[in-house]
Structure 1
């Protein structure tokens, strides 16, 4: 369950707009949470310069931190002028995502908010290596906000998988559903719960002689039975909640395509996804979905997650 007591917002000095901060202010005004403005910097010009002494390097770092504090203070003043309780911190640290993880050890954030930006050459959101690392490593819910996210959320789409109930997935569906309920109530959202299942295609069945082959009619019966089974699993998963039948949706097909289609059909401006990995690459499905959808993304981990 997400209770917004403390929000950590990551700012980007390379951008004129700060969508993460704007969204944080919006949420703080509803929840009354304590807001922490955070900035991690690392100027490679100093580190790679062989012609300055260690003392000069430390002084250069201190000057850079002081300059960025002045920049961040302008945003802090704007926030506090709105009657919001807020503090700020600037640190020199690389990599950026690890600075955020370290900050979470001293600041009890219930939510981290970070901006994402459109790729300059493609018409979709570009997720940086720091975004991906945070998706893997951030121990609290992570909200990735796009530049065009200027209005309050209206439609939430939560993706669950009732077939995953153990291992790294233990409790993840519950976290997603609990969080969705709380957001629905506090932000007055129109919420839908979605599950997709990828069936075995007719061509695959027919290419496996050991399976005895299958007719188109038998394949249709297989699809009907599969849809019925997963529909029942979704109903069982959501039974403890008060979601109406019209709020539940299930589709057979490629998960990425199905989720993207559901985002469009529900006009979702907030997509809630579960993530389970903290080493190696993030799961392929999550990675492709994050690249394709145009809405903000709230990534959630189960309580079983242990930060590295």
Structure 2
């Protein structure tokens, strides 16, 4: 597991505020990293106009790209003045997530940082289609950030799965905690582990009158508590910050994140393929949709992106 030395920042050319850049610069300072700012632009009107020749369309496209590069230089200048190494790239691409992933692969970046949009009325983060594609398909960690500073001594909530005993799950748990440690150092943060476990199925309690649902639940909780405590010890984490809660991950994780006022949730995602890891498909998406804080999504070791660089 590498360090966050090469940080790719997805810049939103339609917004003046760039929370992702603020967060990435903070990371770069803490980790001695360098930034690559990527702005992806596309305008169908230039592609569809039949009145323009191919050469004219290309000239107009190049003109827009040049304008954006100039704008990006202005955006990045203050960070260069702070001593941060910044590289700027502008690409013309109609699928931003593909452009971001292609750059992440070819540039051998350690993490992708992208802003999300906070919806004031719903008090939750609104994730765009590009965000979802990155979470499912990016081969490197994806940090989705909202506006606002990371406070010192902020809390980092790590969603682990201690129920499964296969190597793949255990490796992913280790990977997720490793990334959480790196980011918590950047904010001098406090790491908490959480694991949701299923309660007694109602049909069992009905079909087996002698079945002691309470004893079963207590036994299940104790098993998960033991496993999560072992995991914390292995990573030199505070056992008092282990949380084992009855319920589905998509309910447990956002509720605890809100209760702890966590700045960041770290979880594992495997997109739509591969082994059934800690959080898959709809489960991950339910969790992500309910969060009010930053999110770091980690792929399991060996994950290959379906997006290939050209």
2:228 corresponds, among 219, 231, 234, to 234
SS of corresponding position for 1:196: strand
Give the TM-score normalised by structure 2.
0.90
Residue 219 of structure 2 corresponds to 225
2: CA distance, partners of 1:32 / 1:154? 21
Secondary structure of 2:219's counterpart equals: helix
Alignment-derived partner of residue 287 in structure 1: 285
Q: Is the 8 A contact 1:7 1:24 kept in 2?
A: yes
- Paired position in structure 2 for 1:178: 178
Q: Specify the alignment match of 2:203 in structure 1.
A: 204
How does 1:9-88 map onto structure 2 within 5 Å? 9-88=9-88
- Structure 1 residues 193 and 206, CA gap change in structure 2 (3 angstroms): closer
Dislocated runs of 4+, deviation >6 Å: none
The 8 Å contact of residues 145 and 296 in structure 1, kept in 2 or not, is answered as yes
1:100 maps to which residue?
Answer: 100
Match of residue 303 from structure 2: 305
Q: Shift of the alpha carbon at 1:68?
A: 0.8
Q: Distance in 2 between matches of 1:204 and 1:255?
A: 21
- 1:94 Cα deviation after fit: 2.1
Query: Does the 8 Å CA contact 2:233/2:239 hold for their aligned counterparts?
Result: no
Kindly state the Cα deviation for residue 77 of structure 1 after the two structures are TM-superposed. 1.3
Structure 1, unpaired ranges of 5+: none
User: Is 1:110 paired with 2:104?
Assistant: no
- Do the aligned residues in 2 keep the contact of 1:196 with 1:255 (CA within 8 Å)? yes
Structure 1 residues 54-105: Cα deviation after superposition (integer angstroms, max 9, x where no partner) = 2222112111111111111101212111111111110111210000111122
Query: 1:169, 1:49 → 2: CA distance?
Result: 52
Deviates more, 1:116-125 or 1:245-254: 116-125
Question: What is the TM-score with the length of structure 1 in the denominator?
Answer: 0.91
1:122-157 residue CA offsets vs partner (Å, 9 max, x unmatched): 432111110000001111111000123464571111
Deviations 1:240-294 (A, max 9, x none): 22112211111111322211221122221111011012559x6112111111111
CA distance in 1 between partners of 2:82 and 2:109 (Å): 21
Cα gap change, 1:165 to 1:130, in 2 (>3 Å): farther
Which of 238, 241, 245 is residue 247 of structure 1 equivalent to?
241
Question: Is the 1:205–1:214 contact (alpha carbons within 8 Å) kept by the matching residues of 2?
Answer: no
- Residue aligning to 2:277: none
Report 1:151-166 matches (<5 A): 151=151, 154-166=154-166
Number of positions where the alignment pairs a residue of Structure 1 with one of Structure 2: 302
Structure 2 unpaired stretches of 5+? 275-279
Contact 1:9 1:35 in 2 (8 A): yes
Structure 2 distance, partners of 1:94, 1:167, is: 39
SS in 2 for 1:249: strand
What secondary structure, in the 3-state scheme, does the structure 2 residue paired with 1:157 have?
Answer: strand
CA contact (8 A) 1:97 1:133 kept: yes
Offset at 1:176? 0.7
Deviation at 1:171, TM superposition (A): 1.8
Contact residue 169 and residue 276 of structure 1 kept, 8 A:
no
